[in-house]
């Protein structure tokens, strides 16, 4: 997987995005949002409440969308554009957040960087190997960040585990496991009228781990991916595809075209990644079979492990015998960001993680701190999808 | 993985081991045990308490071992041999159970079948691809069973899940996951004097899933492996090896040869299996990093899943919303064997599973019922170890 982030690229991080450049920039950050649908509305809401950020403009091909979002959040006076180029030309913008439909982040992110703007993109950053390569190239050439907004990295448990890893509680890290295990056909695949939504179109033609970043994001941080280790190769296996046909049969009838057609995506995809330093990662993609939501989040080292499915931890010499403990006894590892922001984050999206993520990223820019998630993460986490497709199509062949 | 159990072989099952042949045999079964160490002592104990079985003879290269086992279980008058050939020649035996050290089951099982005896072997049945092939060939040629004694298949939850699968509760099966996740260095790898035990020798020179059967046994039964589906190919990835060196350093000192040497086995191995009918299986081997015991045991279909780590179940339309339930609400799926034998099995090994397994296998022979685990299972479950080694050694190459 040297497709995107070779160590030679990662080594450039500090020079490219060093403290001096960032802290020279305006302390009050002017944001523009591209794409104001469901996710973009959340960007509107959170950005309008940030202390050190101004929502300077938005852009959507359908201007009714921003109007709805503004009304919902009682916002007035923010200019609306239907063309990103025009917006970037006319408005003074520091950062562009990209919340266009899920497969369409690459183009606006690239346009924004080319216009000299830093970019925060929703996941995935790109859907092809070439797209991931090009994001890295554009970011390096323009000297502009392409931060992937992987909010799962800011979950309270994920950050507590990260803090434990940094303090050596697990010893040397060995393994991570995570899964996007989320039955979401009703929300994402079909509309109520029997048409395929964008996710449905993807699942009809692609077979692999199509949505890897929620799973791999926190694991990548725990294992220091692109900060001392990097992905080496992956193998990926998909099982049979049943869920979409069964759902369509139940909701649209046995003779509906959506029931009778074929879908490429296997209901359960499992992908293994080996890192250059000898760690392993197991990733699940499991969205088409009815099940409770479970991201797994296993972080394992030579001295113990956290198991997110159980929300339990075991640390040799601290846990009694070989029994699991709750996280309550480990409150000294609460991540400083959560200690500082938990109260203010209450009631915002994803248990507060969305708020904390954006606060943190803006704070990084203000203080010249290198952001937690960069273009190499954006590329490496996103490229798992197309590489897993290659592997699945070749009986689990390993792909570098 | 047509190395051992092609469908053509499986099709012969009924003719080879049909009801007529088995029910012709003596109703009272005469057993011999080969190898009377820790596991063999358990064979002595359970067999001496079975109603329809006689412990007719035992064999061990060290006759002090059977003497100890007999004393512990207050058994007298059972002849002891040091040579399996002599025992089989002199005694009237129906079934030989093989409890020799873990890597040495192949030879006594083969000798027993060649002498016309059915064989119950401890796991794994063989440690090489060729050995697995030859077990199948010997069993087919001699018309004698080689039953793999995978006691995990008789765990209460595993059998309840099997019963649920058979009743279609999970819909069409999609995926199974299981792991031999058992930190057992202290028991199996080193002795107290700083020498490698047999498992340690294996872990020093082999890298893969060295002990797959406890994990794959129940999963294989849930997915109907060798009864309508079969393994197609596997991919396997091992991470770095740290646990044995760390353990040796702590217990024998930093300069001890066992601390300074290299061990082949990665602390965590993950193996993916694809079946011909499009199911997938994830297997973990995780014995060298400190952790609570957890076999995982995930059984997932188009209508829901059981998750053994949580001991929870979710069935669409029965479970409320998308929340897990306990098994208590599913008592109608208690397996008939557990309903019938739970009380009698109390206090025997592995929560009663050992007793139920042997009762069931003897009952199969008495009634002419085809045994739950046959030579094809023995070969297919065992061959995962050497095939995973091949895959690990070639960057996760898929192995048929």
The answer to whether the Cβ–Cβ distance between A395 and B233 falls below 8 Å is yes
Count of CB pairs separated by less than 8 Å, A with B: 152
Residue from B236, B292, B306 to probe the interface with A (highest A Cβ count within 10 Å) = B292
From CA B187, how far away is CA B198, in angstroms rounded?
Answer: 11
Domain finish residue from B128, B150, B172:
B150
* Same-domain pairing of A238 and A334: yes
Asked if the structure places residue A400 within a domain, the reply is no
pLDDT cut 70: percent of chain A above it: 93
Please, are residues A207 and A389 in contact by the beta-carbon 8 Å criterion? yes
Least confident of A224-233, B1-10, B122-131, B293-302: B1-10
Per-residue model confidence (pLDDT) at position A27: 67
Interface of A with B in 184-223 (CB under 8 A): none
Per-residue model confidence (pLDDT) at position B102: 86
Domain finish residue from A90, A116, A150:
A150
* Same-domain pairing of A144 and A206: no
* Same-domain pairing of A105 and A66: yes
pLDDT tens-place string over residues B219-246: 999 999 999 999 999 999 999 999 999 9
Interface contact B175, partner A, CB < 8 A: yes
**For residue B316, which residues of chain A lie inside 8 Å, CB to CB?**
290
**In the structure encoding, which two tokens stand for residue A250, read together?**
């139940």
Give B33's contacts (C-beta < 8 A, 6+ positions apart): B40, B43, B44, B47, B55, B57, B58, B59, B96, B97, B99
Residue B6: pLDDT band with limits 50, 70, 90: very low
Mean pLDDT rounded to a whole number for chain A: 92
* Same-domain pairing of A126 and A233: no
Least confident of A86-90, A271-275, B37-41, B81-85: B37-41
Alpha-carbon distance A204 to nearest alpha carbon in chain B (angstroms)? 17
Residue from B240, B241, B394, B397 to probe the interface with A (highest A Cβ count within 10 Å) = B240
Nearest to B272 among A183, A272, A309 (CB): A272
Nearest to A290 among B303, B309, B398 (CB): B303
Here the CATH number for the domain that contains residue B25 is 3.40.50.720
* Same-domain pairing of A108 and A215: no
- Whether the pLDDT of residue A8 is over 60: the answer is no
SS3 A241: coil
* Same-domain pairing of A142 and A49: yes
Residue A59: pLDDT band with limits 50, 70, 90: very high
Asked if the structure places residue B221 within a domain, the reply is yes
* Same-domain pairing of A81 and A30: yes
Relative to beta strand B231-238, strand B173-181 is unpaired
Give A230's contacts (C-beta < 8 A, 6+ positions apart): A1, A2, A5, A6, A7, A10, A275, A276, A380
- Whether the pLDDT of residue A19 is over 70: the answer is no
pLDDT tens-place string over residues B352-377: 898 899 989 998 988 889 999 999 99
Q: What is the CA radius of gyration of chain A?
A: 21
* Same-domain pairing of B19 and B130: yes
Asked if the structure places residue A366 within a domain, the reply is no
Interface contact A324, partner B, CB < 8 A: yes
Asked if the structure places residue B358 within a domain, the reply is no
Asked if the structure places residue A284 within a domain, the reply is yes
From CA A335, how far away is CA A154, in angstroms rounded?
Answer: 10
Interface of B with A in 291-310 (CB under 8 A): 291-293, 300-305, 307, 309-310
Here the CATH number for the domain that contains residue B167 is 3.30.360.10
Domain housing A83: 7-150
From CA B380, how far away is CA B178, in angstroms rounded?
Answer: 16
- Whether the pLDDT of residue A205 is over 70: the answer is yes
Per-residue model confidence (pLDDT) at position A201: 95
From CA A318, how far away is CA A304, in angstroms rounded?
Answer: 10
More confident residue, B14 or B220: B220
Interface of B with A in 219-258 (CB under 8 A): 233-235, 237-240, 242-243, 246
Question: Closest chain B residue to A396 measured between Cα atoms?
Answer: B398
Asked if the structure places residue A350 within a domain, the reply is no
Question: Closest chain B residue to A275 measured between Cα atoms?
Answer: B239
Interface contact B62, partner A, CB < 8 A: no
Per-residue model confidence (pLDDT) at position A197: 92
Asked if the structure places residue A364 within a domain, the reply is no
Nearest to A280 among B235, B270, B305 (CB): B270
> How many domains does chain B fold into?
2
Per-residue model confidence (pLDDT) at position B50: 84
- What Cα–Cα distance (Å) separates residue A272 from each residue in A172, A400, B115, B218, B236? 20, 12, 45, 23, 8
pLDDT tens-place string over residues A328-356: 999 999 999 999 999 988 877 788 898 89
SS3 B67: helix
Mean pLDDT rounded to a whole number for chain B: 92
Residue B276: pLDDT band with limits 50, 70, 90: very high
- Over residues A137-147, the mean pLDDT reads 98
From CA A313, how far away is CA B292, in angstroms rounded?
Answer: 9
The answer to whether the Cβ–Cβ distance between B291 and A305 falls below 8 Å is yes
* Same-domain pairing of B133 and B178: no
Give A27's contacts (C-beta < 8 A, 6+ positions apart): A52, A366
Nearest to A268 among B300, B322, B396 (CB): B300
* Same-domain pairing of B221 and B206: yes
Domain finish residue from A117, A150, A183:
A150
Please, are residues B162 and B265 in contact by the beta-carbon 8 Å criterion? no
Residue B349: pLDDT band with limits 50, 70, 90: confident
The length of chain A is 400
Q: What is the CA radius of gyration of chain B?
A: 21
- Whether the pLDDT of residue B5 is over 50: the answer is no
From CA B108, how far away is CA A295, in angstroms rounded?
Answer: 46
- Whether the pLDDT of residue B24 is over 70: the answer is no
* Same-domain pairing of B308 and B386: yes
Residue from A224, A237, A248, A298 to probe the interface with B (highest B Cβ count within 10 Å) = A237
**For residue A293, which residues of chain B lie inside 8 Å, CB to CB?**
322
* Same-domain pairing of B23 and B115: yes
Asked if the structure places residue B350 within a domain, the reply is no
């Amino acid at each position: 997987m040297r497709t995107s982030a070779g160590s030679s690229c990662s080594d450039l991080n500090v020079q490219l995005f060093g403290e001096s450049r960032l802290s020279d920039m305006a302390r009050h950050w002017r944001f523009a949002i591209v794409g104001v649908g469901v996710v973009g509305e959340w960007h509107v809401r959170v950005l309008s409440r940030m202390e050190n950020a101004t929502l300077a403009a938005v852009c959507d091909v359908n201007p009714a969308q921003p109007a709805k979002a503004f009304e919902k959040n009682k916002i007035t006076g923010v200019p609306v554009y239907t063309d990103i180029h025009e917006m970037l030309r006319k408005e003074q913008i520091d950062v562009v957040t990209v919340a266009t439909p899920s497969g369409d982040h690459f183009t606006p992110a690239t346009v924004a960087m080319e216009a000299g703007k830093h970019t925060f993109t929703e996941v995935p950053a790109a859907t092809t190997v070439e797209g991931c390569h090009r994001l890295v190239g554009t970011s390096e050439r323009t000297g502009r960040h392409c931060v992937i907004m992987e909010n799962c990295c800011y979950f309270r448990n994920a950050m507590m585990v990260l803090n434990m890893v940094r303090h050596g509680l697990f010893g040397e890290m060995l393994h991570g496991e995570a899964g996007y295990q989320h039955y979401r056909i009703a929300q994402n695949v079909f509309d109520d009228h029997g048409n395929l939504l964008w996710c449905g179109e993807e699942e009809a033609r692609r077979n692999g781990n199509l949505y890897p970043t929620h799973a791999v994001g926190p694991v990548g941080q725990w294992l220091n991916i692109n900060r001392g280790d990097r992905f080496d190769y992956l193998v990926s296996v998909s099982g049979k595809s049943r869920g979409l046909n069964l759902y369509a049969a139940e909701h649209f009838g046995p003779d509906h075209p959506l029931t009778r057609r074929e879908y490429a995506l296997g209901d359960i995809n499992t992908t293994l990644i080996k890192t250059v330093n000898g760690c392993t990662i197991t990733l699940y993609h499991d969205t088409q079979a009815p099940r409770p939501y479970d991201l797994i989040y296993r972080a394992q080292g030579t001295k113990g492990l956290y198991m997110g499915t159980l929300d339990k931890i075991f640390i040799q010499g601290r846990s009694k015998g070989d029994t699991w403990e709750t996280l309550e006894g480990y409150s000294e590892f609460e991540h400083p960001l959560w200690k500082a922001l938990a109260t203010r984050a209450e009631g915002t999206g994803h248990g507060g993680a969305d708020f904390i993520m954006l606060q943190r990223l803006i704070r990084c820019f203000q203080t010249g701190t290198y952001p937690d998630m960069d273009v190499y993460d954006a590329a490496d986490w996103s490229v798992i999808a197309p590489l897993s497709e290659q592997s699945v199509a070749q009986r689990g062949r390993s792909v570098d």
